[in-house]
Amino acid sequence: MTRFDNLFQQGLAGFAAQGRMRACKQWHAAGPGLLQHPDTGAVLVDFSSNDYLGLRTNPLLSARGMAWAQAEGSGSGASRLVTGTPPQTMALEQRLASLKGMEAARIFSSGWQANASVVPALARLSAQVTGAPAIIVADRFIHASLYHGCAAAGVRPKRFRHNDLAHLDTLLGQESGDGLKIVLTESVFSMDGDRADIEQLRAITLRHNAFLCVDEAHATGILGTQGKGLVNGQADLVVATFSKALGGMGAFVAASEAVCRWLDNTASGFIYSTAPSPMVLGAVDAALDLLPGMADQRAHVAGLASAFRQRMACAGLDVGLSATQIVPVVVGAEHTALALARLVEQAGFLAVAIRPPTVPPGGCRLRVVFHAHHTEAQMEGLAAAIIEGVGACAAEMKG
């Protein structure tokens, strides 16, 4: 105990009163898409993780990871600018660039690190080359890591209404300064499961000579032709992760060779961070081998999500504008979302409650995520548990 613990306890009490307290629970894998409590033995069907294709437990990924580790070691040892880069990592970056229809790519240790590093690097280009501060215009629902990047860059972004591209067009048209105009968005939004109109974004940014940066974390591997995502070469820079549909850990940035060389020299997360483990990168290499042949799995996930949305709609529940494997069931208040998540867990399913600051106040929800290993029976069971749980929560409120 420290002399400041009373302050921290007061702060935590505030979170608890708001229904916003968070804590890590203990679970371990009990099979594809299953989690088991180490003490009670209770097994839940996982509808919360981002393992969209079920590759996290694919034996080819672990075998390739071990092979790369045997060749290069369990860790990289340092930043790539210190000890260099193995040839297979360079080849992997070329595969990643091709996946996104770009000239080049650079690997980062996480999606957070990539986003938080890229934005300040782009802002620095504006200051150094144009002599004017960057102008950042962002979808208001971008990930916290991109907002962190804006803060690190010392730039307060102008926010356009979520997926309102007419508003984006207006905001860009109001800017007449010499600074680099940077548009930040996502192709699939992680809490709402809706998509951005990439073609229209491209047209608007071309018209205003703006640099389009798209986070493809939740599209890569699971959406688009052969799992390539939704951007298809229509952005100036793409950030994507290995930790979701690709079943691993880490991230990459894909762009032109000039942009990637600029990041080599200005992206703090690349310069000052130890490079990812060869074990991690070997698993990514194996996942890329599998992606083209997983059309059936992608179609299965899409079908489950579509059927679930229909079940929720028939029950009068709000799933927003979801059009992907991510389906929010919006219930409003923090305590309602927490109560519903507990009831769903008691029925044998993990669908965690998402609360502020991850989502806006009043927008609390269960975030339901579909994976290739889910069955129709599991989807129907979850739908029934949610509908029954919503009814129980409503009855308790009336009582």
Catalytic residue among 48, 100, 126, 143: 143
Please give the domain boundaries of the chain with CATH numbers for all domains. 23-53+294-398 (3.90.1150.10), 57-292 (3.40.640.10)
Catalytic residue among 46, 215, 216, 334: 215
215 is catalytic: yes
Q: pLDDT, tens digit, for every residue of 29-50?
A: 767 888 888 878 889 999 999 9
* pTM (two decimals): 0.93
What is the rounded average pLDDT of the residues 163-168? Answer: 98
CB atoms under 10 Å from CB of 131, counted, come to 9
Within 8 A by CB and 6+ apart from 218, the residues are: 50, 186, 187, 188, 189, 190, 244, 324, 326
Quote the pLDDT of residue 12: 85
Give the strand order in the sheet containing 135-139: 104-108, 251-255, 237-241, 211-215, 181-186, 135-139, 158-160
Catalytic residue among 181, 218, 228, 373: 218
Confidence bin at 195 (pLDDT 50/70/90): very high
- Which of residues 27 and 130 earns the better pLDDT score? 130
Quote the pLDDT of residue 25: 77
Is residue 397 pLDDT above 80, yes or no? no
Is residue 1 pLDDT above 80, yes or no? no
Q: Which backbone phi and psi does 107 adopt, to 5 degrees? A: -90, 140
CB atoms under 10 Å from CB of 250, counted, come to 22
398 is catalytic: no
Quote the pLDDT of residue 36: 85
Catalytic residue among 169, 186, 216, 236: 186
What is the rounded average pLDDT of the residues 380-391? Answer: 96
